[in-house]
A and B are shown apart, each in its own frame.
Chain A
């Protein structure tokens, strides 16, 4: 029998009995989406890129902020203000140039999610909110794609594998909790060691799912401060709206343009459907009114009369210096020349 030549990059996990040469080849053919590129997302992406998962798609809508550097491992000071997904992809390509690493700077919503994740083997949740997880759950259950839920807060974290056949995320949490009922990292903080652990559990489960190993469907709960680790059985709920009744309400809901006031009084505008803006052209037009303008492959930043707008290729915009949503929409429309 001809012995296959081993790529030295992966030699330490190929000699691991749980992976082996066959397992490594499967990983190299695998396609994984990572939704969210914060503390969990950067660590999962780092782990899976180094492990040789053949195709990674990293999705995030945000820009790197200084307060991210405490826990978001792929970013450094020079990245502040840059799009997270593209920055992470750039760093990861320097770590492993032998795999495909793609990025999307996009707000994932029910108009675009199915088209984006349909051809992937696995979805990893690294988001920071429940509505997106509900949307991921609907899409993955409908399309029979496994996904891994992960969450962190303070010194605690949770992970659960959600596989075709259930139980699904809504067997655990049937509806989005009421506004203000959940703790967030902005309000109660997060220790930087817990996302590492939770993301590493998610990454390990990802490898096991991709290699078709025995997979636990329990909810894993860990507190890094108290050293408590628990696993809880989650049963399939016989009246589950999603995995039993196949009612994908988060995926099927009508979507209008979404305008929200952000924590720092900025206004975010998400158009009803994805656009594909020619940022260079828009920058050229706006350049006649101000010199304070910067356009890159991914975004356009403009400052005029103490108002500033960050405009993304898909039409989403973050506007600062205007607290009023109506005025922000008017400014947005003017910038786009609509």
Chain B
């Protein structure tokens, strides 16, 4: 399956949902916001959010400094 993550086209296999993808990319929680096809997906829904061919995902690091 081909998807785009932060502007880079990627081919992924054996990844069913958004949570699988994030586990694949990050070793641990990085305090990120996930945007799928221009819509923010709430953290509680990552496990239930399936991925499909052509999805465009933006991983946004949450910003806490001031």
A residues near B (Cβ < 8 Å) are 36, 38-41, 125-130, 133, 150-153, 156-158, 171-175, 177-178, 181-185, 190, 195, 219, 221, 232-235, 237, 239
Contact = CB atoms under 8 A, between A and B. Distances in A.
Contacts of B29: 177-178, 181
A219 B63 CA distance: 12
| Residue of B61, B63, B66 with most chain A CB atoms under a 10 A cut-off | B66
B12 to A, nearest CB: 23
Interface in B38-66: 38-40, 42-44, 60-66
B42 A237 contact: yes
Interface of B: 28-31, 33, 35, 38-40, 42-44, 60-66
B40 A232 contact: yes
B40 A172 contact: yes
A130 B64 CA distance: 6
7 contacts: A128-B65, A133-B64, A152-B65, A153-B61, A158-B63, A174-B44, A184-B64
Contacts, number: 86
A150 B63 CA distance: 8
B40 A235 contact: yes
A151 B64 contact: yes
Contacts of A185: 65
B62 A41 contact: no
Given A41-B66, A181-B30, A183-B61, 9 more contacts: A128-B66, A129-B64, A151-B65, A153-B64, A156-B61, A173-B62, A177-B30, A232-B40, A239-B44
A177 B65 contact: no
A182 B33 CA distance: 12
Given A177-B30, A178-B29, A239-B44, A128 B64 contact: yes
A130 B43 CA distance: 16
Contact of A40 (B31, B33, B43, B66): B66
**Closest 4 pairs (CB-CB, A-B):** A177-B31, A151-B63, A128-B66, A185-B65
A216 to B, nearest CB: 15
A126 B31 contact: no
Interface centre among B30, B33, B64, B65 (most CB of A within 10 A): B65
A151 B66 contact: yes
Q: Which of B28, B29, B44, B62 has the most CB of A within 10 A?
A: B62
Contacts of A219: 33, 40
B33 A172 contact: yes
A181 B43 contact: no
A182 B64 contact: yes
Contacts of B44: 174, 237, 239
A40 B65 CA distance: 9
Nearest to A156: B63
A96 B31 CA distance: 40
Nearest to B62: A173
B66 A126 contact: yes
Nearest to A189: B65
A151 B61 CA distance: 11
Contacts of A177: 29-31, 62
A251 B39 CA distance: 29
Contacts of B31: 130, 173, 177-178, 181-182
Which residue, of A39, A127, A128, A153, has the highest number of chain B Cβ atoms within 10 A? A153
Nearest to A128: B66
A55 B61 CA distance: 34
